[in-house]
Amino acid sequence: MSAEYDGYDDVPVRGPFGRLSARVALRLGAFDLDVAVAAEPGEVVAVLGPNGAGKSTLLGVLAGLLRPDSGEIRLGERVLGGDGAFVSPEQRRVGLMGQDPLLFPHLTAVENIAFGPRSQGVAKARARAAAQDWLRRLALDEFADRKPAELSGGQRQRVALARALAAKPELLLLDEPLGALDAQTAPEIRHVLRTHIRAAGITTVLVTHDVLDAATLSDRVVVLDHGRVVETGPTAEVLAAPRSEFTAALAGLNIVAGVALTAAKPGESVAIAPVGLAPARPVSVVGQPGPGQPGGVTVSGFAADDLAAGSPATAVFPPSAVAVYLGPMGAGSPRNLWPATITALQPGPSAIRVRALLGAALGTAAGEDSVIPDLPGHGAGAVVSADLTAASVAELHLEPGMRVHLAVKATEVRVHAH
């Protein structure tokens, strides 16, 4: 069997995709882009930033649609640009899906998808079979013979995604791939995208404004502003402790990375063990250690995707759903209840955001604090935010360093596959 990834097979073969390394500078009118971006083989890097930050310009440079004034782009051992070299877009083996699907108006959906394989010399019948397979994967079977004008915006977006993937790219560039999809369709396509990228090991650069896309699809985050990198790091770490104003505003949700303790179907209850915390034990009250099981923190909620026991998962819930208590609640409380230590109080326009480190107040049987290991890429423990009124903060006399308990109803927590 060839080691090359074959996107036409039902079970993709992991390909020998190389590391992306780009250091580029480009001036477009009054806009100046000067960035360095890297992605390891098979890694998914999310590029975030406000409008006009240069995200789509960066993708255009990586795709070969824009030629940088200086710098170098490498994909594995190949130099795609720099030192006088410039590889044309069609020879880069780079798949690009932009904000505008840019489908061929005179071709049907299946013909649009088959175009990539056909342009690479794949036989017509095999290219069409590959296109039909992608139509099935993206729930577009019944629209195979429709032209773009006969499709909705979301359907055109899915066809564009299928076309990018069917071309078997060594580097996949996605610009808001789920932006035109409705709330019901987006989770399905997110699952397909995540599954395919992980299975095939495709190095991917993803531009998105959706924090859920970044949290569930990416390994690392790069934040751009005014054509410069202002923040970068592992996704969980950046979203848990943002340093830029944009990232702080984007990460308006609590995002806790962990491992699913049990298998679950969408809508079923499930608990995860957060990374960077003491190992979780079986629980009796949601979020609390079971009888005779000191130590361990879990986050319980309801699955948004299919989850396998032991698989990476991400729990998502809003700060408004988090309550702060000075002591533990009763054993009959149907909530997540976590010991924590306040790390910061941040005033906002309508509430004070209380940031706390989970597990930092968790005692062992001897009454000592549990050790919170610092795992690479995730920092020490998990940080959770709660939005409280100024009156509540004053009444509880909250301040950094104070040990508290955080409570969240399990119904407020959605657990996504990662």
Q: Tell me the pLDDT tens digit for each residue of 368-410.
A: 333 333 323 333 467 899 999 999 999 999 999 999 999 999 9
Q: Is 249 exposed, middle or buried (0-12, 13-18, 19+ CB in 10 A)?
A: exposed
Amino acid at 190: R
Element (H, E) at 360: none
Question: Of all helices (H) and strands (E), which one includes residue 385?
Answer: strand 383-388
107: tokens are: 């071709």
Range with the poorest average pLDDT among 92-101, 127-136, 228-237? 92-101
Query: By the 8 A CB rule, do 225 and 52 touch?
Result: no
Radius of gyration of the chain (CA): 23
pLDDT at position 153, please? 84
C-beta atoms surrounding 309 within 10 Å: 11
109 vs 131: CA distance, rounded Å: 9
Q: Is the pLDDT of residue 283 over 80?
A: no
Instruction: At 119, list the tokens.
Output: 């342009």
Task: Please give the share of the chain, as a percent, with pLDDT higher than 90.
Answer: 52
Reduced to 3 states (helix: H, G, I; strand: E, B; else coil), residue 325 is strand
Residue 17: predicted pLDDT: 66
Query: Is the pLDDT reported for residue 285 higher than 70?
Result: no
pLDDT for 286-335, tens place per residue? 444 433 333 468 999 999 889 999 999 989 899 999 999 998 776 555 57
Structural domains of the chain sorted by starting position, each given as residue range(s) with its CATH number in brackets: 20-93+168-251 (3.40.50.300), 256-417 (2.40.50.100)
Q: 173-198, pLDDT tens digit by residue?
A: 999 888 877 877 888 888 888 888 88
Q: What is the pLDDT of residue 363?
A: 35
pLDDT at 97: 86
DSSP state of 4: S
pLDDT at residue 62 is higher than 70: yes
pLDDT, tens digit, for every residue of 77-97? 899 998 788 999 988 999 988
Higher pLDDT, 199 or 143: 143
Cα of first residue to Cα of last residue in the chain, in angstroms, is 29
Query: What per-residue confidence (pLDDT) applies to 7?
Result: 43
Average pLDDT, the chain: 83
* Rounded CA separation 102/99 (Å): 9
> Which residues fall within 8 angstroms of residue 201, CB to CB, at 6 or more apart?
5, 14, 15, 17, 41, 42
- State phi, psi for 206 to the nearest 5 degrees: -120, 120
- Measured CA to CA, the distance from residue 62 to residue 38 in angstroms comes to 11
The Cα 190–Cα 178 span in angstroms is 7
* Predicted local distance difference test score (pLDDT) of residue 362: 38
Q: How would you list the strands of the sheet with 44-48, edge to edge?
A: 94-97, 171-175, 203-207, 44-48, 220-225, 228-234
Please state the pTM of the whole predicted model.
0.70
Closest alpha carbon to 317 in 331, 333, 332, 338: 338
Among the listed ranges 21-25, 64-68, 254-258, which one has the minimum average pLDDT value? 254-258
Is the confidence at residue 35, as pLDDT, over 90? yes
Q: Give pLDDT tens digits for 297-307.
A: 899 999 988 99
Give the chain's length.
418
In this prediction, residue 237 carries a pLDDT of 84
Of the candidates 333, 341, 331, the one whose C-alpha atom is nearest the C-alpha of residue 398 is: 341
| Under 8 Å between Cβ of 113 and 97 | no
What pLDDT does residue 360 have? 59
Pairing mode, strands 85-86 and 269-274: unpaired
Decide if 359 contacts 413 (C-beta within 8 A): no
Instruction: Specify the pLDDT at position 132.
Output: 96
Q: What is the mean pLDDT of residues 240-259?
A: 80
> CA–CA separation, 138 vs 133, rounded Å?
9
pLDDT: is 308 or 250 the higher one? 308
What 6-10 contacts at long range (C-beta under 8 Å, 24+ apart), as own/partner pairs, is: 6/168, 7/130, 7/165, 7/166, 7/167, 7/168, 7/200, 8/117, 8/126, 8/129, 8/130, 8/133, 8/166, 8/168, 10/133
